[in-house]
Chains A and B, each alone.
Chain A
Amino acid sequence: MEKGKGGGWSLGLAGLLSPVTLWLGLFFMVPLLLILAYSFGTSGVYGGITLGFNPGNYLKVFDPLYLQIIVRTLVIAVTNTVLCLLLGYPLAYFVTFKGGRRKNLLILMVMIPFWTSLLLRAYAWVVILGGNGIANRVLQFLHITDHPLDLIFTPQAVTMGMVYSYLPFMVLPLYAALEKFDPRLKEAAQDLGASRWHTFWQVTFPLSMPGVIAGSILVFIPSAGEFVIPNLLGGARTVLVGNLIQQQFLQARDWAFGSALAVMLAALLVGAIMFYVRKVGAEKLEGV
């Protein structure tokens, strides 16, 4: 509270804050607490739920059937994050240091896909990778194969769709971090005799770490919970945790197990944010 402004201000503050408290409290926090409670409950045969303290829903993830799905999800999410970093870093580097007058335009061209629907971008790959799709015709034209390959409904198709969808999530924080970089540091390193290779690894890259970590979190967390891309590009053979959660809520009606999986996903996010705060500092969180 600002002192010396009287009671009117605190009334004003309460007025400004009550709508958000009500809405996010009731429709964000309470639902999260509810699935936390449900995750320790027991699902009835007909879809009802009995509250209690049943850790069984969490232990279920060690069932080989589910463990396999979780491992597959983590492998795809990590692969996606690494590929986004490998493709996104050079792009962000180029835009920041070589973009010149076109810098704003170039970064806007990354933001447009960032804001367009993930669903539509996944659909684009359904068309491209499909049976007689462009990808297959290009491969045949180049004589890499003489018959259409099964490109869609594979883990590779899912990874492809994810890299395509999440690349902008990596580029934007990287660009934000590199933008703050003082180019004189690079000149100083080179004046002192460092090669470009050394300058990059000893100066530029370490200073861009906040962007690398933020970008990796923004790519890893949603891809670990993704269910649209595996649904459209993975088919029945590439079920991920997101699909498993969806099945528990909409088909199997095992809400307790579904809640436990969702809680673990949320816990992964909390863990990632705590890691970021420890490495980079809380005050920079707003940049994410």
Chain B
Amino acid sequence: MGESKTGRAHKGLGKLPDRALLLLTALVYMFLYAPILVLVFFSFNSTKNTQVWTGFSLQWYGALLHDQSVLDAFRTSMIVGVTATAISTVIGTFTALALTRHRFRGKTFADSTIYAATVMPEIVVGVSLLVFFVAAGLQLGILTIIIAHVAFCISFVTIVVRARLAGMDRSLEEAAQDLGANPVETFLRVTLPLILPGVMAGALLAFTLSVDDFVITFFVSGVGSSTLPLKIYSMIKFGVSPVINALSTVVLVATMVLILGGSRILIRKENA
């Protein structure tokens, strides 16, 4: 514990504990970022070596564009991501509305189920869905992947939208209703525009989770329905290669853009 070491030293050594804490923090940040940066760095290497720098090249990115199985996996990931995001965003928003605006019997159970779905170990979710799909006679493929992704995205969308709803002033909705708007009109013209940043952030989060998911997808995908993470996994199993570094870099940059975009939407609207 940084503070325990530094706290004792403090008595005789003045500024040292703060410096030690700063140093430790800097080292932990380095630990968090250095491996990713190394990975990105070697995606630009000019030879097949992922360890020794030999010169700059974009050939591995070019190789990605000419690899049909990578492009197929990318297409599958996009279809799954967009579909699962659309469905889970609608369901999650409905759920958030029900949980913030209504009291009903079984609400605690509904709450617990939603939180349980976010913390349940992925491997448990994966194998239980596999067992379920096989028992139901559903062919494993893109459909089962979408169903599974919607199932784990709903909870995250619900939590994000709910946080937005909780901080919302209800007087505008009441005013709309007093002026004769019916519940559907009130929702579409007042509530939805107000919670839209939350809904969009929830959708971005769902899309990121869907595109990044490996474990659950691994269990519910069938032959010929590889998503990008499944493709990356099989490439890693086959052996380390700068093509994987290039593909990883593309996925990392895309994730980062989505997350930064999502947090910007939330922060800007909250400050407005």
Contacts and interface: CB of A to CB of B under 8 A. Distances in A.
A201 to B, nearest CB: 8
Contacts of B24: 90-91, 94
A272 B28 CA distance: 27
Nearest to A17: B98
A285 B6 CA distance: 32
B147 A27 contact: yes
Interface stretch (B32-40, B58-66, B194-202): B32-40
Contacts of B236: 119, 123, 126, 232
B212 A116 contact: yes
Q: Is the interface of B mostly helix, strand, loop or mixed?
A: helix
29 contacts: A12-B183, A13-B102, A17-B104, A19-B90, A20-B114, A23-B151, A27-B129, A27-B132, A90-B21, A94-B22, A108-B263, A113-B32, A113-B33, A113-B36, A116-B256, A126-B236, A127-B38, A127-B39, A127-B240, A164-B32, A167-B32, A196-B3, A200-B3, A221-B119, A228-B214, A232-B236, A258-B127, A262-B124, A269-B120
B219 A249 contact: yes
A111 interface: yes
A124 B35 contact: yes
B121 A224 contact: yes
Given A164-B31, A167-B32, A112 B256 contact: yes
Contacts of A242: 123
Most buried by B among A86, A91, A113, A266: A91
Contacts of A226: 123
Interface of B: 1-4, 6-8, 10-11, 17-18, 21-22, 24-25, 28-29, 31-33, 35-36, 38-39, 42, 50-51, 90-92, 94-95, 97-98, 102-104, 110, 113-117, 119-125, 127-132, 135, 147-148, 150-151, 154-155, 158-159, 183, 208, 212, 214-215, 219, 229, 232-233, 236, 240, 244-245, 248, 251-252, 255-256, 259-260, 263
Given A108-B263, A218-B119, A34 B35 contact: no
A228 to B, nearest CB: 6
A197 B4 contact: yes
A145 interface: no
Contact of B7 (A8, A123, A196): A196
B25 A24 contact: no
A168 B32 contact: yes
B230 to A, nearest CB: 9
B123 A91 contact: no
A9 to B, nearest CB: 8
Nearest to A109: B29
Interface residues of A, number: 90
Contacts, number: 252
A288 B128 contact: no
Contacts of B155: 24
Contacts of B114: 20, 24
A195 interface: yes
A162 interface: no
A28 B151 contact: yes
A26 to B, nearest CB: 8
A167 B183 CA distance: 45
Contacts of A227: 123, 215
A156 interface: no
Interface string A96-139: 00100000000011111101111111011111101011100100
Contact of B113 (A15, A24, A31, A34): A24
Most buried by B among A94, A132, A273: A94
A132 B52 CA distance: 9
